[in-house]
């Protein structure tokens, strides 16, 4: 597994505003959207392309187009939905699958409660959207779910990550040869006793959509 921490002043600036407890939901959604687009730029560095020739007004030029099958973007419900638009801005022709995963707040284990994904993901590059890599249970379960269906390349975009989550993800993916990359805006200090990232930004789902 590879972890890539985006080192860019705009990423740091937007993340700082996201962390601020005074940032209201509309502003939080806007900032998360912009931050994901910046992270998506890094996350799609190895998106597959194929050669494509176009005719300019002057001459022929050799370029590229996105390869088929199309990349699949997979937001993890609920909070991953707040990252979808920011991702699709850069990959508008990607397909979108949905994965609903919930974390038991006592055991901190993740289980799937809903999914809308192709049965066969052979040869697909998957971009998983999950804002907080905290315990790592959700992302590990999601990645293994996609790998079982044939995904052969997984990139997760997380606003924030904790070292405990990265370690757990490495453990959960120890048996796979599928390349998994995590792109994040920052690696924070640790988790607290409730499984929240410290200093973090609080509950990403609640801050995006309210406490429902
Ligand atoms: N999920 C969140 O929304 N926030 C955290 O800090 C950890 C998990």
The interface pTM score, or ipTM, of the predicted complex is 0.96
Q: What is the pLDDT of residues 38-90, one digit of tens each?
A: 999 999 999 999 999 999 999 999 999 999 999 999 999 999 999 999 999 99
Instruction: Confirm or deny that 37 is annotated as ligand binding.
Output: no
Q: What is the pLDDT of residues 90-110, one digit of tens each?
A: 999 999 999 998 877 777 678
Q: Is 109 a catalytic site residue? A: no
Distance 97 CA to ligand 1 centre (A): 22
| 3 state DSSP class of 181 | strand
Domain ranges of the chain: 2-50+65-209
User: In whole angstroms, what is the distance from residue 47 CA to residue 71 CA?
Assistant: 8
Q: Whose CA is nearest to atom 5 of ligand 1?
A: 196
The CATH code of domain 2-50+65-209 reads 3.40.50.2020
Instruction: Confirm or deny that 131 is annotated as ligand binding.
Output: yes
Selecting among 103, 112, 149, 152, the annotated active-site residue is: 103
Q: 209: Cβ below 6 Å to ligand 1?
A: no
Q: Is 188 a catalytic site residue? A: no
Distance 196 CA to ligand 1 centre (A): 5
In angstroms, the Cα distances linking 116 to 58, 73, 149 are 45, 12, 12
Q: Residue 144 above 80 pLDDT?
A: yes
Residue 79's CB is within 10 A of a number of other CB atoms, namely 22
User: In whole angstroms, what is the distance from residue 75 CA to residue 129 CA?
Assistant: 4
Q: What is the pLDDT of residues 9-47, one digit of tens each?
A: 999 999 999 999 999 999 999 999 999 999 999 999 999
Q: 152: Cβ below 6 Å to ligand 1?
A: no
Q: 132: Cβ below 6 Å to ligand 1?
A: yes
Distance 47 CA to ligand 1 centre (A): 28
Residue with tokens 């007004």: 57
């Amino acid at each position: 597994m590879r972890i890539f921490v985006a080192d860019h002043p705009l990423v740091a600036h937007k993340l700082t505003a996201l962390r601020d407890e005074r940032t209201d939901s509309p502003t939080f959604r806007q900032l998360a959207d912009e931050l994901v687009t910046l992270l998506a730029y890094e996350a799609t560095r190895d998106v597959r392309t194929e050669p494509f020739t176009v005719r300019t007004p002057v001459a022929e030029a050799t370029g590229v187009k996105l390869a088929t099958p199309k990349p699949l973007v997979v937001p993890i419900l609920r909070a991953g939905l707040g990252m979808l638009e920011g991702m699709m801005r850069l990959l508008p022709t990607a397909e979108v699958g949905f994965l609903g995963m919930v974390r038991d707040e006592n055991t901190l284990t993740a289980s799937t409660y809903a999914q809308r994904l192709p049965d066969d993901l052979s040869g697909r590059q998957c971009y998983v959207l999950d804002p907080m890599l905290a315990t790592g249970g959700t992302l590990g379960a999601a990645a293994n779910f996609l790998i079982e269906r044939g995904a052969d390349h997984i990139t997760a975009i997380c606003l924030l990550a904790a070292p405990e989550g990265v370690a757990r993800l490495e453990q959960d993916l120890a048996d796979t040869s599928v390349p998994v990359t995590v792109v994040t805006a920052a690696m924070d200090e640790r988790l607290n006793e409730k499984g929240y990232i410290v200093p973090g930004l609080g509950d990403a789902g609640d801050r995006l959509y309210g406490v429902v």
